[in-house]
Structure 1
Amino acid sequence: MDLAHRVRNIQIRDNLLLIKVYLISAFHFFRKYVIYILSSFEPTLRPGQPRSTDVGIDYICLEWDGVERDDVTHYEIRMKLAGDNSWHKTVISTEDRRPSHRFSELSPDSGYDFMSRAVYSDGSSSEFGCTSAEIKTKCSELHTLLKVCRKIDDGPPSVHRLPLREIRESEDNVNKTRKFVFGTSTYIREKTILMVGPREAGKTTLTEGLVNHSLGIKWEDNFRFTITDENPTKKGSPTEWINCYKVHPIMEHADFILNIVDTPSFNDESGSTGSNQDLLKRLKGFLSARGPKGLNRGIDAVCLVIPANPVQYNGIDVILQDIFNSIMSICGVNMLENVIPMLTFADGKEPSVLSILSSVGVPTQHRFVFNSSTLFPPYSNDAQLGKTLWQFRSRGYEEFLEHLPNMKPSRVLENNPITPRPDTKPVGQEEIMTHLQGNRLEIDVKLMDLATVKADKDTLKKFAVDIELNKSFSFEEEIYQQENIPLDPGTHVTNCILCHTTCHYPCQIPDNKEKIRCSAMANGNCTVCHQKCIWHMHMHDPFRIEEKMVKVTRTYEGLKAKYEFGMQENVPADAMQLAIKRAFVSLLEEVISLISKTVKTSNDLQGVRNTEQDFVKLMINTEEQQKKAGFEKRLELLRAIQNNSTVSVSDPNAWLHEMGFVDW
C-alpha cells in the first residue's frame, strides 16, 4: 500500500507541475497578445524602415512609415555608403511632414543606407528608425560605354575614343569623305548639322564638345570621349577628311539622332583660293551626291564656327566675306536661313565678331557662344574657373540643341544655286524665278523619293524570309525620272516655274520680259498650266521638261547600302524597318521645308498671302489635271500632307501612321 500510495502521489505531483507549466505559458502568451493589442492603439514613436520608390543612375527616391503625431513638422535623414561604419555628418531635412525624400547627385552603381527620425514643433525629435536595406543606384550607361572604348590619354581626366562603325561603302578615298555611326537607338527623327569655318576656329573641338554634351558628360566626371581621328589633347591637329558622324543618343531626354558633318578648315590666307576651291568641290559632291557616298539628307543647320573675338586686322571682313560666300556658293539661297554662327573662345562679353558678320551678310539673329577650353586636358590649376567655363559651354550646347528641332532642312542640289550677294546688289527677279523653279522640281523629286521609300517598306514585307536568312534577292521597281531635254539651237520654250511644266514649245518669245506675248497667255495669265499662273511666273529655259517612269532592277545588297548598312552585313528586319522609317521622316521634313520656303518666296514675288495648305491644294489640283508620270503616288502623299492641320513634322510617329506605316 505504501508503495502504491507513493506512486500515486508522484503522478499527482507531476500532473500539477505540468498544469503549472501550461498556465505559465498561457499567461505569457496572453500577456504578449494584450501588449500587442494595446500598442496598436498608441501612436508610432519612431519612423519605419526607409524603402525605395524609384532608383536612377544618380538618384534614389525614398519613403517610410511616418510617426503618427500631429505635431510632426518634418523628418531628418542620415545617409552613408553601404559597408561604411560611420554615417555622413550632414543630416538632410525634408521640406514638410510627408515621409518621403529624393536624393540626387549620387554616384552611379553605388549602394547606400538610410535612416530617418521625426522632428516635432517644439524642436524635439524621435529616435532614428530602422536602417534601410542596401539601396543601389543604377549602373551608368557612360561607365558601361567606357568598357568598350580605347583610352588614348591618361589625363586627368582620361580621354577615350568612342567605338564607331564605319560604313565601308561610303568611303571615297579620292574626295576623302566617309561616314561613321555611333551606337543604336529606336529614335525616328534625325537632325543634321554642317560644321564649317576658318583655321584654328575650334571647329573640331566644338564637335567633340557637342558629342560629350549629348552623351551627358559632366564636369565632375573623370573621363571624356573623343569621336574624331585627331588626338584632342594635341593642339593644331588639322582635319583632312570630310567626316559624317551619326550619333545615337543614350540620354533619356533626347528626342532625335544627331548627324554631324565635320569638314576641313577654309584657308584664310592670301593665295589660298586653289585649296578652298578644292574643298568646296569635295564638299559639294558629298552633300549633293546620291547613293552610299553622299550625305543623302537635308541639312538643318550650317554652323559657321568663328572665334567670338578674333584678332582685328585690315581685311578681316574681306576674308570672312570670302568664306561666307564660298559656303553659300554650294548651299544656295535656300539655306541662308539655316546659317547659325557658332562663336568659340567666348569670354562672356558681347562678341566683337558680330558686327563683322552682320556687315558681310551673315544672319546673326540666332547665334550661340561657347568656350571649350576645359573639355580636354591639360587643365589649369584654377578648378573653379574650369567649372565656370564648363557651365558656360554647356549652356551654349543646351540652347543650340533646343533650337535645332525647330529648324527646317534644306538640301544641297547638284545644279548651280544662287550665291547671295549681300555686299552688292540684291538677287534679281529672274534669279528668284530660277530659284523657285528649282524648288518646284525638287519637291516633285522628293515626293517620288518618298514613294520609293514606301515601296521599300513593301519589299521588306515581301522578302521577309530572305532578309531573315540574309539571302540575296533582286526585284524590279518603277522609278520616276524628270528630264530636262536640251533645246535645239534657235528654238525657245515657255516653262512655268510654279507648276514646273512646259506650257509652250516651241515658243517664238525668247525674252522673259516679253512672255506676256506668248501664245499660251491670255489676259496676262497662262491658259495651259493648271494654276493659270501670271505671265511673269514663266520663263525661257535652255530645256523643255519631260517626265517618265522607268523600270529598274535592284538588289538586296543595294537596298542595304541605301540605308547605310554594309552590303555583306546581316541586317535584322527590325533594324531595316527603323532605317526605312527614318529615311521617310527625313525626306518628309525636306518636302515640308521646301513647300514652306517656296510659298514664302512666291508670295513675296507675287504680292499675295497664300498659305502652305493653299499651295498643297494647288499641287493636288495640278496633279489631278495633268496626270503626268507618277502622279498617283504623288497624289497619295500630297493628300496625306493636306490632311494634317499644320504642315510640320513635330510628331514623326503620327506622320508614319498617316502614311501607312501602321503595325509595321
Structure 2
Amino acid sequence: MTFGERDKNKPHKIILMVGETGSGKTTLINVMINYMLGVQREDKVWFEITDDQSDHRSSVKSQTTIITVYEFYLQESKTHLTIVDAPGYGDTRDIEMDKEIAMRFLRLSESAEGVHDIDAVCLVMNSTQNRLSDRQQYIFDAVQSLFGRDIAENIVLLFTHSDGGHPKNALKAVKEAEIKCAENDKKKPVYFLFNNRQVQTSDEKCDDEEYDEEHEHTLQQSWRRSDRGMTGFFKFLDSVKPKTLKMTQNVLQKQKNLEANISNLQSRVHMMELKQNELKQTQKALEKNKKDVENNKNFEFEVEVPYKEKVDIDPSVAKAAMCCTVCEENCHYPGCWWAKNPLWCEVIKDGHCRVCTNKCHYSKHVKEAKIYVTKIKKEKRTYEELKKKYEDTIGNSESLVKKLKEELQELEAGKIKLVNEAFHCVETLQMIALNADSLIILRNIDFLIEKLKEINEPEKVKTLENIKKRAGEEKLEGLEFIKRYLQKK
C-alpha cells in the first residue's frame, strides 16, 4: 500500500514491525503516520490506515499469512518510511502459518521490487508485562531466527500502553527471555515508550465539564509521551546503518532445507527399520528350512513387506507437497506452499533435488495434494524367487542373507549421510543465525540426537545437547506448549 510519491532526494527508512495479536502494533503504525504528517493534538484530527477486509480475517484463513508493506512518501515528512507488517504473526489460529509468513518474507526479500535491506526490526510489546508469554517467546524467537547475527544492533523495543514510568518489569522479561537487541552506551536495551490513547473517541466524551478537563489533560499527556517516543525512534533510524537481507535469505534457506531433510529422513528411517524386519523374517525362514536350502529344494514362506502408496494430504497439516516419483519420497512436506512448479521449490538447486535419495532432476517431481506413506503387506515368497532375485548367489542361505545385508547397509549409508547433512545444517545455522536456538529448530533436535546416537556420533550429539541446554528450561517449556497446541489442532 503506497501513500504519496517517492522523492529520491529524501532519506528512506525501512522497518519491520512484529508483535503478538493485541500488543498495540496497529495503533503504533497509525501513530507513526500522524507523526510523519506533523499532526498535533490541537489540530483535532487523526489519520488511520483502514482495511476493508480486517473484520473478516477470522473467516479468511489466507489473511493470517499476508505480509503488508506500507510505503509512506509524505511531503510533510523529511524521511520516507516503509513499514513491513505481518498482521497474522502470532495469531493463535495456526502456528504452522508462522512458517508460511517466514517464507513470504523470504520471497519479499528476493523479489526485484521487494525489501532488500532493513533499518530496524521493531519488537512491539505491552510495557506492563513482567514476563513473556509462551506465544510471545515463540514469536520473537521465530522472528529473530529469520535474520543473521548482524541484525542485532538494528532491533529495538517499542513498549505500548506506557504510563511514562520506567518499564522495569518489561525490560526484565526481555532480558530473561534472552531477546537480542540494540544497546545504548550503558549496554542497556534501546527502547521507546508509547501510549495508545492519543485520540478521544466519541464514546469517551462526557457531559461533566470537570471530568472532561481531567480527561483532556490525560489525553494530552498520552499524546506527548508518544510524541517523545516517536521523536527518539526516528533519531535512532537516522543513526543506524541498514542491514542487507542477504544473510537472512541464507538463514531462511538453511532452515527450509533442515526441515525438509529431517522430514524426509524420518520417512526413510522408518522404511529402513521395516526393511530390517523383513530381513529378520527372511533369515528366520531360511534357518527354519535349512535342510531344504542345503538340498536346493524349493519352499514357501511369508514376510511383511513395506511399500509406498500415495494418499491425500490432511488439509489441516498442509495444502500440497513436492514428491519424487522415482524415489517415491516426500521431498518437501509439510511447508511447500509457494512454488507451483517443482523447479521453483526451495529444495531444488541447479535443477536437482537436494533431499530425495537419488537427488533426482526436478522433472521427476510433482507438486500436488498427495504424499507417499509407508504401508505393510504380507507377501508369500519362495526360495526359488530369492535365488532368481540374486542370480549371482551360490544357492545357500549365507549368500542370500549377505545380499540382503548389503541392501540394508546401503540404506544405512543413506541414513548416515542424511543425518549428517541435517546436523551440518543446524551447525551452519549456529554460525550465521541471530537466534539459532529458536523453537523451530528445537522441535527437530530430539529426533536428530536420537539418530546421531544410532550412528555413533557422540561429539555431534554433545553439540546438539548443548544447544538444548543453552536454550534453557523456559524455552523448552515453550516448545512443549507448541507441541501440545499442535496436538490439539
Q: TM-score range, shorter-chain basis?
A: 0.3 to 0.5
Q: Which has the higher helix share?
A: 2
TM-score with structure 1 length normalisation? 0.33
Greater RCO, CA 8 A, separation 6+: 2
TM-score by structure 2 length?
0.44
Whichever of the two has the greater Rg, that structure is 1
